[in-house]
Amino acid sequence: MDYFDSIIIGAGFSGLYQLHNFRDKLNLKSLVIEEGNDIGGTWYWNGYPGARCDSESYSYGYTFSKEIYENWKWKERYPKQTIILKYLNYVSKKLDLKKDILFSHKVVTGRYLENKNLWKVKTNKNKIFFCKYLISAVGSLSSANIPNIKGIKNFNGEWYHSGRWPKKFINFKNKIVAQIGTGSSGIQIAPEIAKIAKKIVIFQRTPNYSIPARNSKLTKDFKKYIKENYKKVKKLLKKTPGGHTFHFSKKSAFDFNEKKRNLIYERAWKKGSLSFRAAFKDITKTLKANKTASKFIKNKILSVVKNKKFAKILTNFDHPFTSKRPTLNTNYYETFNKKNVDLVDLKVNPIIEITKKGIKTNEKDYSFDKIIFATGFDAFTGSILNLNLIGKKNKKLNSLWKNGPKTYLGIMMPYFPNLFVVQGPGSPSVLTNVPVQIEQHVEWITNCIDYLEKNKKQTIEATTKSANIWSKEIMKLANASLFMKAKSSWYKGDNIPGKPKIFIPYPGGMPKYRSICDKVEKNKYKQFKIS
């Protein structure tokens, strides 16, 4: 019998750090099972043109090791996908992690054996493993959302999804390309394809507010400053609501007249980054303040895009700024000034079907050589549900979550003893700088299992009561925010047909969430059922 103390599913940021903690701190016999043939998680699969992080490099990594933090040298403000993979490989080599990772195996089911207090895990290659603790480290954004469009199988050309980008080289030179989707990935892809394709037609469902990234090389002085201020940076990442290194202004948007307010916005725009939303303390809290930011961004787009038709489509917003995922861009809006770029408003001209030659809308038949789906993910829940987990009393997670996920802290759920989720639904997840959230989760899980082992406990399980209370708390916070003002948002599962429409991540900010988790740990996990 292939037995392990712990099995971790996924070898991205979460899985690697969890393996290090279990193996090197708790001395648990541990195995990571990874679907890909190398480490990286999200950054392994998302290798599309223009793929970059939208958190600043020096904040987008592990902080648990001073040595790793100081010795790894970021070169740009926003690292590209290949560099992030190099970083993770550097960490993996430093900690000798790959020896305990099983690559090219996908977990297809996990069943809890009540009579043995063990998890039985099966892969797509019929390998069976048993473990005491099962950890889902599959991430919030790993289950690609391939839209169910009529005729997709009939297309004679090649099509790709941004979240499952092929490892082979794809030649777009002199090709006519369709891009469906203008979210975070689409905004990064379009400018790159436009540089080399004969033509690109971008199909937009919902216009996106996007702030200039202002990517640049990091100066020697800045690198030196970051290296010398490791403790300060680490403390700041834990202190701020989104786990970033910027603070929100203490001033209201209405502490200034319009002229002065726009000067402040202008400075933030020129600086770039996600910190634009922090220009005033109330941008993300009240519609009135939010409208001042939305108006500024809209005017900026209108000043860049020369084609009036395109400009109107790109600024026809139906949601407040930051109520959906804020995005960063490099020359995205400038791309629409190129002669080889076209834009289709799917709200006016929806796609009817994909044909052998291309795409048919209610207005026109298009011919394409290639189609890119930048249509995002079945976020938060899709990747976990794909594991086909079965808990106590033969309870299937897919059935229990039919009306939406129920967890406590986004870490555990009722009927699934010793199953832990890193960045699960009900945690701050993608509303924060992800590595900051991951470190907190992994360390909490590690401390919890350490407590169980030292006290000779066999199982821990979230109670139905605690999960229900947590779900109500999330909805209470969401309803008090601007998040629920978005007509359609993957934060609420709106992008997946049939998915329950509830707010999924915890919206209360990382410091508040951290303090709740710390209190639970201090009180010896009284909200859980331990035996």
Is 430 within 8 Å of 274 (Cβ atoms)? Answer: no
- In three-state secondary structure terms, 41 is coil
Residue 470 CB neighbour total at 10 angstroms: 21
State how far the Cα of 59 lies from the Cα of 237, in Å rounded to an integer. Answer: 7
CA atoms within 13 A on the CB side of 43: 24
Per-residue confidence at 70, pLDDT binned at 50, 70, 90?
A: very high
Q: Assess whether 499 and 509 both reside in one domain.
A: yes
State how far the Cα of 297 lies from the Cα of 169, in Å rounded to an integer. Answer: 36
Asked whether residue 220 is domain-assigned, the answer is no
State how far the Cα of 341 lies from the Cα of 322, in Å rounded to an integer. Answer: 27
**CA angle, 437 as apex, 94 and 430 as ends, to 5°?**
120
Q: Assess whether 284 and 366 both reside in one domain.
A: no
Asked whether residue 203 is domain-assigned, the answer is yes
347 is written with which tokens? 């709200």
Per-residue confidence at 139, pLDDT binned at 50, 70, 90?
A: very high
Residue 93 CB neighbour total at 10 angstroms: 10
Token pair 């043995």: residue: 116
State how far the Cα of 32 lies from the Cα of 40, in Å rounded to an integer. Answer: 13
Q: Which domain holds residue 333?
A: 144-208+324-376
Asked whether residue 232 is domain-assigned, the answer is no
Mean pLDDT score of the chain: 97
Backbone phi and psi for residue 344, each to the nearest 5 degrees, phi listed first:
-120, 130
Task: Provide the CATH number for the domain around residue 139.
Answer: 3.50.50.60
Q: Assess whether 513 and 400 both reside in one domain.
A: yes
Question: So what's the pLDDT on residue 400?
Answer: 98
Per-residue confidence at 256, pLDDT binned at 50, 70, 90?
A: very high
What is the domain count for the chain? 3
- Per-residue pLDDT tens over the stretch 297-322: 999 999 999 999 999 999 999 999 99
Question: Pairing state of beta strands 210-212 and 101-102?
Answer: unpaired
Q: Assess whether 490 and 418 both reside in one domain.
A: yes
Residue 1 pLDDT > 80, yes or no? Answer: no
Q: Assess whether 191 and 202 both reside in one domain.
A: yes
Asked whether residue 217 is domain-assigned, the answer is no
Per-residue confidence at 27, pLDDT binned at 50, 70, 90?
A: very high
Q: Assess whether 346 and 290 both reside in one domain.
A: no
Q: List helix spans (H) across 156-286.
A: 184-196, 220-228, 230-239, 258-271
Residue 58 pLDDT > 90, yes or no? Answer: yes
Asked whether residue 225 is domain-assigned, the answer is no
CA dihedral 106, 443, 523, 409 (to 10 degrees): -50
DSSP per-residue letters across 472-490 = HHHHHHHHTSSGGG-SS-T
Q: Assess whether 129 and 153 both reside in one domain.
A: no
Q: Assess whether 82 and 134 both reside in one domain.
A: yes
425: DSSP letter: B
Least Cα distance to 127 among 2, 7, 4 occurs for 2
- Per-residue pLDDT tens over the stretch 332-359: 999 999 999 999 999 999 999 999 999 9
Listed residues 346, 376, 406: the one ending a domain: 376
Per-residue confidence at 485, pLDDT binned at 50, 70, 90?
A: very high
Asked whether residue 215 is domain-assigned, the answer is no
Q: Assess whether 310 and 334 both reside in one domain.
A: no
Q: Assess whether 79 and 157 both reside in one domain.
A: no
Asked whether residue 455 is domain-assigned, the answer is yes
Per-residue confidence at 444, pLDDT binned at 50, 70, 90?
A: very high
What average pLDDT does this structure show over 94-122?
A: 98
Least Cα distance to 308 among 337, 331, 350, 345 occurs for 337
State how far the Cα of 75 lies from the Cα of 371, in Å rounded to an integer. Answer: 33
What average pLDDT does this structure show over 396-413?
A: 98
CA atoms within 13 A on the CB side of 207: 23
Q: Assess whether 352 and 465 both reside in one domain.
A: no
Q: Assess whether 134 and 9 both reside in one domain.
A: yes
